[in-house]
Each structure stands twice: as structure tokens, then as C-alpha cells.
Amino acid sequence: MTALTNHITSLIRASGPLTLAEFMALCLQHPEHGYYTTRDPLGAAGDFTTAPEISQMFGELLGLCLAQSWLDAGAPAPFTLAELGPGRGTLMADILRATRAVPGFHAAAELLLIETSPALRARQAEALTGHSPTWANSFAPKAQPLFLVANEFFDALPIRQFIRDTGGWRERVVGLSEGALAFGLTEAAPLAALEHRLSDTAEGDIVTLSGHAEAVASEIGAHIATHGGTALIIDYGDWQPTGDSFQAVKAHEKVSPLESPGEADLTAHVDFAALARAAAPAAHSALTPQGVFLERLGITARAETLAQNLRDGALQNHIAAHRRLTHPEEMGSLFKVMALMPQGTHAPAGLDDDA
Ligand code: SAH
């Protein structure tokens, strides 16, 4: 049994079953044994790969999209260029390289990275040599315009899960069965926080509540409404999704979430409707599939330019990466993009205004 399994088991013995949110927070963020605290989980040798690790095109196009929004906002200076959960720093490095030629953008940008993992902070410092980022554990930017990206950040925040029943909602919890971690369900009870799900669900349907994600979205929304700016949120999920998307991934394979706490990545699909509601003083764009967004920003033209200098295996990899980011059967439709921006302004390039 791992140290973290022992710790979780004694917590449950002492005070009863944990919500999935409590379990996720311990597994991912425990200061000593947490998944993100102890390792760099990205890349082929790690547990999962993300869009910026697949191709430089992703970060380049996001960078140009953000820079265009900054120009459209009147090129405010100074401004905060922030990333939530920057992983290896690859996305920010690509954003900065692609925006070098945008007059004034780098000079006005103050780089802020929100990252809890010491291991990943070290990787980010390496990737961003020559820039001088500030790191923070939580979102609290200066009172100035904010241009922000968050790719595969919100899916890593703790969620609670509920199953609809005749008497209301039963919460999925982690308890013990014969000494081992096991899923359980609470008694059914009505829940005010899920009243908005009564019209689009039936008995047996599973929904999530993401208090952590909503708290972050609410702060971003309030900040953008007051100080201006744009946030680009990219993640797998949907508008008010239904179903069990809670999953654990280790070495690129799905495993049971209870099998090795602290050693597998735990995620759940993001509820973009909940983020949009929480960000309410700010406006939000229409939710757009990643493939559509990248095509509108010109990924195919960029892919062709890059292909001219590639041969053989490198060329095959590049073609596969383009497909992986955009094709509906790969990341193209599962992943979605939503922007937050001030009321009365238009959605950034590649995204439609909310209908
Ligand atoms: N955006 C990167 C990495 C995604 S992995 C990419 O696209 O490659 C998730 C990232 O969020 C990691 O950097 C992880 O350490 C960070 N993270 C997870 N939970 C966090 C939290 N509660 N607060 C701050 N950062 C967190």
C-alpha cells in the first residue's frame, strides 16, 4: 500500500467517506505524495500528452489570437500575460516566440504562471529562460488588464459527482470495503446547487459539480470585467455534460482511480456552462470545438509552411500532429475552446460571439 493510500484510509476510518473532490485534491495536490507535487507527468515517457507537447503550432496560434485581442483592446501597457497550470512551459514558450514580432507586446507583458507543482515550476523556468516570470500558487493578478490561457488546467481541479435518483441526488463517495478503498453512494437528497440539472437529466444520469473550477472562473471573470483582458480556456468537456467522465490515467492507459492514489492523473470533463455562469460579470464566447478554432486561425497554412523544412519521419510526425490536434476523431471535437472577455466586446479570433 502506498503512503497516500494509508493516509486516505486512516482519514476515512476517522471521519467517514470522502467526496470525490476531497479524494482528488489529496491524490493530486497532497504536499508530500500528491501526483502533481512529485513529478512531471507529461510527454511520451510520462502519463499523458497535451496539445502544446504535440506541436508548436498550438501555442503559436494561441499566442497570435491573444496578441490580436490585446491589440483590439487598444494595446494596454502594462498587462499581465498569465497561464494557469503551465505544465512544462512549452505553451508559454511558443506563445512568446510567436508574438515576438507584435510591436509592444513583449515590452508590456508581465508574465505570471499559476502553478503548484515544484517539479513543473523547475521545468517552466528552463523553458522560459530569458524571460522573467513570476509564479503563484493561486490566481491573484495585479489590478491591470489580463490576457490568460488555461489548457488542460480545469480538468485537473477537484469535482463532486452525483447520480440522479427518485428522491433527489446520491453523491458518489470514496469509502472502505473490507479495508480497501471502494466507491459508495450517499442517500438520495434534493440539492439546490443541482436544480438547473433537473430539466436536462433523468433518473440514473450522472452530473458533476466543480466548486474549485467555478471559484477560479469567478475570479477571472470579475478581474476581466473590472480591468479588461481576455481568457482562453481549452479543455475536454462540454456545455453542461452528463455522464461519468471521472478517470485515472497512468502511462497513457486508463486505470481505476482507486488503484494507485497519487500515482495516476485524475481528471473529469469540464462543464463550460458552469464556468461561464461563474464568470458572469464577464461575457463569454460560444463554445467551439478545438479543431474548428485552430482551422479558423490558419493551422493548415502554418502546417504547410513548417512541412517545407521537414523530411521522412519528422514530416510524418508533423502530419500526424496536425491531424491529432484538429481531427474530430482525435482531439478536434472532444476538446473545446471558450473565451471570457468584457461585456460589449467581441469574441477573440477563431471564436464566435455567444448567440
Ligand atoms: N497546460 C499544460 C499542462 C497541463 S497539466 C499543457 O497543456 O501541457 C495540468 C497543469 O496544471 C500542471 O502544470 C499542474 O501542475 C497544474 N495544476 C494542477 N492543479 C493545479 C492547481 N490546483 N493549482 C495550480 N496548478 C495546478
Tens-place pLDDT, residues 52-66: 999 999 999 999 999
| Pocket flag, ligand 1, residue 59 (CB < 6 Å) | no
For 11, residues 6+ apart whose C-beta sits below 8 A from its C-beta are: 18, 26
Residue 351 in this model has a pLDDT that exceeds 90: yes
What pLDDT does 218 receive?
Answer: 98
In terms of DSSP bridges, do strands 247-250 and 265-267 run parallel, antiparallel, or are they unpaired? antiparallel
Could you give phi then psi for residue 320, rounded to 5 degrees?
Answer: -65, -40
Ligand 1: centre distance to CA 166 (Å): 38
| Pocket flag, ligand 1, residue 86 (CB < 6 Å) | yes
Are the C-beta atoms of residues 64 and 99 closer than 8 Å to each other? yes
In this prediction, what percent of the chain has a pLDDT beyond 90? 97
Asked if the structure places residue 261 within a domain, the reply is yes
Averaged pLDDT for residues 80-96: 98
Asked if the structure places residue 30 within a domain, the reply is no
What pLDDT does 306 receive?
Answer: 98
Asked if the structure places residue 31 within a domain, the reply is no
**Structural domain span for residue 74:** 36-158+209-341
Residue 76 in this model has a pLDDT that exceeds 90: yes
| Pocket flag, ligand 1, residue 55 (CB < 6 Å) | no
C-alpha cell of residue 195: 436544480
User: Which three-class secondary structure state does DSSP give residue 149?
Assistant: strand
User: Which three-class secondary structure state does DSSP give residue 294?
Assistant: helix
Residue 340 in this model has a pLDDT that exceeds 80: yes
**Helix or strand run (H / E) with residue 237:** strand 229-238
Residue 221 pLDDT class (50, 70, 90 cuts): very high
- Give the DSSP letter of residue 143: S
| Pocket flag, ligand 1, residue 36 (CB < 6 Å) | yes
| Pocket flag, ligand 1, residue 92 (CB < 6 Å) | no
Residue 251 in this model has a pLDDT that exceeds 90: yes
Residue 266 in this model has a pLDDT that exceeds 80: yes
Averaged pLDDT for residues 287-295: 98
Residue 1 pLDDT class (50, 70, 90 cuts): confident
Beta strands in 85-225 (DSSP E): 109-114, 134-136, 146-151, 160-165, 168-177, 180-185, 206-209
What pLDDT does 222 receive?
Answer: 98
User: Which three-class secondary structure state does DSSP give residue 92?
Assistant: helix
What pLDDT does 2 receive?
Answer: 85
What pLDDT does 355 receive?
Answer: 83
Residue 117 in this model has a pLDDT that exceeds 90: yes
pTM equals 0.98
Alpha carbon separation from 57 to 121, 139, 271, 325, 327 (Å, rounded): 23, 27, 26, 9, 15
Give the span between the Cα atoms of 194 and 271, in whole angstroms. 13
Give the span between the Cα atoms of 246 and 267, in whole angstroms. 6
Asked if the structure places residue 258 within a domain, the reply is yes
Give the span between the Cα atoms of 27 and 37, in whole angstroms. 10
* CATH number of the domain encompassing residue 133: 3.40.50.12710
| Pocket flag, ligand 1, residue 114 (CB < 6 Å) | yes
Ligand 1: centre distance to CA 285 (Å): 23
C-alpha cell of residue 251: 502511462
Residue 332 pLDDT class (50, 70, 90 cuts): very high
Q: Which atom of ligand 1 is nearest to the CA of 117?
A: 15
| Pocket flag, ligand 1, residue 17 (CB < 6 Å) | no
Asked if the structure places residue 2 within a domain, the reply is no
Q: Take atom 10 of ligand 1 and give the residue whose Cα is closest.
A: 85
Residue 44 pLDDT class (50, 70, 90 cuts): confident
What pLDDT does 43 receive?
Answer: 85
What pLDDT does 22 receive?
Answer: 98
Residue 246 in this model has a pLDDT that exceeds 80: yes
What pLDDT does 9 receive?
Answer: 98
What pLDDT does 204 receive?
Answer: 98
* Cα dihedral 189/195/196/201 (nearest 10): 40
Residue tagged 501555442 (cell numbers) = 59
CA angle 41, 44, 49 (to 5 degrees): 60
Q: Take atom 21 of ligand 1 and give the residue whose Cα is closest.
A: 116
Asked if the structure places residue 173 within a domain, the reply is no
Alpha carbon separation from 154 to 64, 161, 223, 268 (Å, rounded): 22, 16, 18, 9
Q: Take atom 17 of ligand 1 and give the residue whose Cα is closest.
A: 85
Q: What is the number of structural domains in the chain?
A: 1
Residue 132 in this model has a pLDDT that exceeds 90: yes
Asked if the structure places residue 139 within a domain, the reply is yes
Residue tagged 497554412 (cell numbers) = 301
156-185 confidence digits (pLDDT tens): 999 999 999 998 999 999 999 999 999 999
Are the C-beta atoms of residues 319 and 297 closer than 8 Å to each other? no
What pLDDT does 71 receive?
Answer: 98
Residue 229 in this model has a pLDDT that exceeds 90: yes
Task: Please count the residues of the chain.
Answer: 355
What pLDDT does 274 receive?
Answer: 98
Give the span between the Cα atoms of 297 and 322, in whole angstroms. 13
Residue 240 in this model has a pLDDT that exceeds 80: yes
Beta strands in 210-281 (DSSP E): 229-238, 247-250, 253-255, 265-267, 270-271
Asked if the structure places residue 10 within a domain, the reply is no
Q: Which atom of ligand 1 is nearest to the CA of 88?
A: 8
Alpha carbon separation from 166 to 46, 187, 190, 200, 204 (Å, rounded): 43, 11, 10, 15, 9
